[in-house]
Structure 1
Amino acid sequence: MSIYIIGMPIGNKKDITIRALETFSIITDIYAEDTRSFREFAKYHNIKIKNIYSYEDNNEKQRSIEIISKIKNNSNKNIGIVSEAGTPLISDPGFRIIKLAHENNIKVIVIPGVSAITSCLSIAPMNGSSFTFLGFFYNYKLKDIYNSINTIVFFDSPKRILKTLNFLKIYFPNSYFFIGRELTKKFETYYYFPISEIPEINLKGEFVVVMEKNHEIPKNNIEISNDTIINLQKKFSHINKKDLAKIISTITNYSINDIYNKLIQFKM
């Protein structure tokens, strides 16, 4: 009567631990972020589990309540939670069920697996002794990069990666990047470059980005004149005003509210 958080391969189906394979033999119900990919994985390893349910962002709350109810009503239930790749909770669904399990005194057991974060860090030519992980990068997380003294690690998608790099190029012109694309898969690729020389990147698959900030732009280098506000809104028209206010605030001494009010005043 336990919940097992099981680490899955991040690309290569063979990257699964012996302990994980043994654990699947006692699991009665699997809750998977992607049921189709789990069925393919199960077939590859000859894993026989009849009860496979979806557990994703859209139904995480409902499924978590369902899992707790199942365990309370049947002491023979062993529930497995799996991500499509990697480990639940790490930029994937899983928080709600783990929180509910602890609140209901239900045992949670981790079966560790492959990590895209540490896999990429282990071959990046940067200091990995301490790092700040941002999950998936969004522009409003710029402040987290400024506030960190560590190597930065984040995930990104094919649709966003070039926008992200060009965005960070503005604020960290002397930074270096190491990118792992499609880690452990057939077309695994690596890129190492200064941000001033962004290479041609294959825009397919998933990306793990490792960033060494190097020298930063000094704070307060932007004078918040009316013309500056207008120009910034033109340049970053794809960013909503609240997020843009947060970004500008990180590199000036102006408050977020002051910046936001100016953005509203000079609405484009």
Structure 2
Amino acid sequence: MSEASIVEISPTLYVVATPIGNLADMVPRAIEVLQTVALIAAEDTRHSRPLLKHFDIDTPLVAYHDHSNNAALERLLDHMRGGKDLALISDAGTPLVSDPGYRLVDLALSEGFKVVPIPGACAVIAALSVAGLPSDRFMFEGFLPAKQHARQATLKALVRERRTMIFYEAPHRLRDSLADVLTVMGPDRTVVLAREITKLFETVKRLPAAEMLEWVSADSNQQRGECVVLIAGFGGDDGIPVSVIEMLDVLRAELPLKQAAALCAKITGIKKNQLYQYGIENPL
């Protein structure tokens, strides 16, 4: 056999998405991969075993999560160094999207192993697809901080973010987080709650922030399950276009506010007093 006919087969790490609720969302390719790899690394083996049993997958299962030590990570890499394929799954959805796996993927790539995604369910994308908010540009921020001060600081840093913002939130913190969205971003900012996606009590609700807080507070059922919160991007204040606000911010960073407002008004045609009042209410 000539050297040209010899094909070196590299061990592969498969990053496999699993259903976020409805088991019918499991894609056939994911089942095939999980049945044929030598080992499956799961975020929580107790959670994953019923899923694997449902699809007649008897592949050996080991735990791998954010608290796994370096020794556990090395054992997985040794498995691949020995020429065997490995699959990574999380409790639900696509691994690495607010789920463990980054270190394993990073090191697998660093050692030259092939890493292959097996796409499927992802709560972030599923929620965005039904939210009715702009989806050409969006940002995912994971979970909001648990403490109010840190949570409000995060929201304040994003108050003028123009992209659609997406967060995961724990059900027991949902009301407090919505109250902070109301406080920081105002009563009229559009908020979407996508709860229990693909499950029996799936709910998608879109309301202004004040009405959303009132609606969730009035129904304890909306404070249960897996929650995705989407917030509409900043669209300007008091009828002032975002582009004008950005210009005013650049000018007032270098000039006194009164001068900056006058110059911005002259360039854009927006009333000077309106710009000045905005600057007073929204200091840099």
TM-score normalised by the shorter chain: which range applies?
A: 0.7 to 0.9
> Does residue 106 in structure 1 map to residue 119 in structure 2?
no
Kept in 2: contact 1:176–1:214 (CA 8 A): no
1:155 equivalent in alignment to 2:168:
yes
Instruction: Specify the alignment match of 1:211 in structure 2.
Output: 231
Is residue 181 of structure 1 aligned with residue 191 of structure 2?
A: no
Answer whether contact 2:16 2:119 (CA < 8 A) is retained. yes
The alpha carbon displacement at 1:210 in A equals 1.2
Give the deviation of 1:64 after TM superposition: 2.1
Q: Cα distance, 1:149 vs. partner?
A: 1.2
- Which residue type is aligned with residue 176 of structure 1? T
Matches within 5 A, 1:1-268: 1-49=11-59, 51-59=60-68, 61-72=70-81, 74-75=82-83, 77-138=84-145, 139=151, 140-146=153-159, 148-173=161-186, 174-197=188-211, 198=213, 199-200=215-216, 201=219, 202-214=222-234, 252-253=283-284
Residues 184-205 of structure 1: per-residue CA shift (max 9 Å, x gap): 0111112221111121342111
- Match of 1:123, SS state, is helix
* CA deviation after TM superposition for structure 1 residue 144, in Å: 4.8
Please identify which structure carries the higher helix content. Answer: 2
CA distance in structure 1 between the aligned counterparts of 2:54 and 2:133, rounded to whole angstroms: 36
Q: Which amino acid aligns with 1:193?
A: L
- 5+ residue gaps in structure 1? 220-250, 254-268
Q: Distance in 2 between matches of 1:136 and 1:61?
A: 25
Deviation at 1:27, TM superposition (A): 1.1
Q: Which runs of 5+ in 2 are unaligned?
A: 1-10, 146-150, 239-244, 246-281
Question: Equivalent pairs: percent with the same residue?
Answer: 31
Alpha-carbon separation, structure 2, partners of 1:100 and 1:67: 10
Q: Distance in 2 between matches of 1:216 and 1:65?
A: 51
Partner secondary structure for residue 208 of structure 1: strand
Residue in 2 aligned with 1:265? none
Q: Which one has a bigger Cα radius of gyration? A: 2
Which letter does structure 1 place at the counterpart of 2:42? Answer: A
Q: Which moved more, 1:112-121 or 1:136-145?
A: 136-145
Q: Does the Cα contact within 8 Å between 1:34 and 1:55 map onto a contact in 2?
A: yes
- The runs of at least 4 aligned residues of structure 1 exceeding 3 Å deviation read 213-219
CA–CA distance in 2 between the matches of 1:93 and 1:60? 13
8 Å CA contact retained: 2:171, 2:224: yes
Q: Would you say the 8 A contact 1:172–1:215 is kept in 2?
A: no
TM-score, normalising length: structure 1: 0.76
CA RMSD in angstroms, aligned pairs only: 1.9
